[in-house]
Amino acid sequence: MDIKIFEGVKTPFYYYDKELLERTLDAIEACTAGTPMKVHYAIKANSEPEILRIISSRGFGADCVSGNEIMTAISCGFRPENIYYAGVGKTDEEILTGIDCGIGCFNIESIEEIDILSELSAQRGKRVTVALRVNPNIDAHTHEYITTGLKENKFGIDMRMLDEAIKKVKSSEHLDLGGLHFHIGSQITISEPFKLLCKKINDLKARYRLEGIDFRFFNVGGGLGIDYENPDKNPIPDFGTYFNTILSNLDLAEGQEVHCELGRAIVAQCGSLISKVVLVKKGIEKNFVIIDGGMSDLIRPALYGAHHKIENLSTIGRPADKIYEVVGPICESSDVFGKDELLPETHRGDLIALRSAGAYGSAMSSQYNMRNLPGHLIR
Ligand code: LLP
């Protein structure tokens, strides 16, 4: 990172490396061209309009979870028919936004929602496509707060209620059953959970085929993880293995599509939170590097115990021979980015990068302590 481009930019701010984002998108295109795979970007990971415009210009679809995300996606160039809307608690107003905008699909998460969507579509005199989100009860082996496909989660329809759900959709004049939707969790770094998911999908496909029900698509959700500890060694996730796992394990019929909703894998590595060292505080047992970025700017460490690689951009090339606790300025003891960080000797005014922060960084920022929201620089 050349810190000259940061001169005069008010910290803390998110820096996004546009070239890395483009290369990440190139890698996805190279793996999916000519396959039945369609990629929908999960907007919740990062909804900076400039980033959305870069992604939409590649013809990707969008996975949205609120009415505002739908409106933002459309204003940033995503085609309404490529927008899919998921969420366990869509409000009537949000559903009507989706219907009025002509989005491609509603991912339904409960039997109750089928009636609500059917009623609201009838009100608008429209027919909408739906996918049923099935809870496949697969352990994604990731953090408990971001695992979603286990049966005790609030997400999706329990497998045992799927027959009833399908019957209900089929009996509505206003709903068209497009496919099945799944999402088993996030930051998944092994292939096994995705293989298990494909097996579940194959079983469901075969079972419903016998009843004369065919699906136009299966949506495997998002979840592909990234390398938080080695962002320079692995700046682009292993899309080859991921797409190959899905495409080679799914038994698709002629014309059937498979969709995925990647968020983190697309935008995480291109972003860093850049902060300035406010002061270095000497303690008895340890020394603290106190930066101007805090948990209000990047909540992942405080919320999930996540670790983002920490770099002192002002001391590149110097030996990392001091141990510091790197913390934010917020009045919470969880406002800590690293407990025992090996860094070169650090001083007031140095620029610190928290790497791999392009996903669920600015998107989850808040104004806690009445702080300003972090700024951004896209280059
Ligand atoms: N599809 C659905 C239905 C989802 O719930 C999610 C993420 C995605 C796709 C995108 O997943 P991804 O490809 O990004 O793993 N804030 C947490 C992550 C929460 C993920 C929520 N759902 C974090 O910072 O780790």
- Measured CA angle at 276 (ends 273, 277), to 5 deg: 125
- Atom number in ligand 1 closest to CA 300: 24
Q: How much distance in Å is there from the Cα of 328 to the middle of ligand 1?
A: 25
Please list, residue by residue across 162-187, b when 16 or more beta carbons sit within 10 angstroms of its beta carbon and e when fewer do: beebbebbeebebbebbbbbbbbbbb
Q: What is the DSSP letter of 207?
A: H
The reported pLDDT for the residue numbered 137 is 87
What was the pLDDT predicted at 140? 81
Whole-number pLDDT of residue 225: 98
Q: Whose CA is nearest to atom 19 of ligand 1?
A: 146
Residue 301 confidence (pLDDT): 98
Give strand pairing partners of 377. Answer: 15
Ligand 1 binding site (Cβ under 6 Å of any ligand atom): 42, 45, 63, 86, 146, 148, 183, 186-187, 221-224, 261-265, 300, 304, 359-360
C-alpha span between 308 and 326 (Å, rounded)? 11
pLDDT band at 149 (very low <50, low <70, confident <90, very high): low
Output the average pLDDT for the chain.
96
Q: pLDDT tens digits for 273-318?
A: 999 999 999 999 999 999 999 999 999 999 999 999 999 999 999 9
- Could you give the domains of the chain? 3-12+270-378 (2.40.37.10), 18-267 (3.20.20.10)
Q: How far is the CA of 263 from the centre of ligand 1 (A)?
A: 6
Q: How far is CA 273 from the centre of its chain?
A: 17
| Tokens found for residue 117 | 């969507």
Main-chain dihedrals φ then ψ at residue 305, nearest 5 degrees:
70, 25
The residue to mutate among 132, 153, 188, 261, having the most atoms of ligand 1 within 8 angstroms of its beta carbon, is 261
Residue 152 has pLDDT above 70, yes or no: no
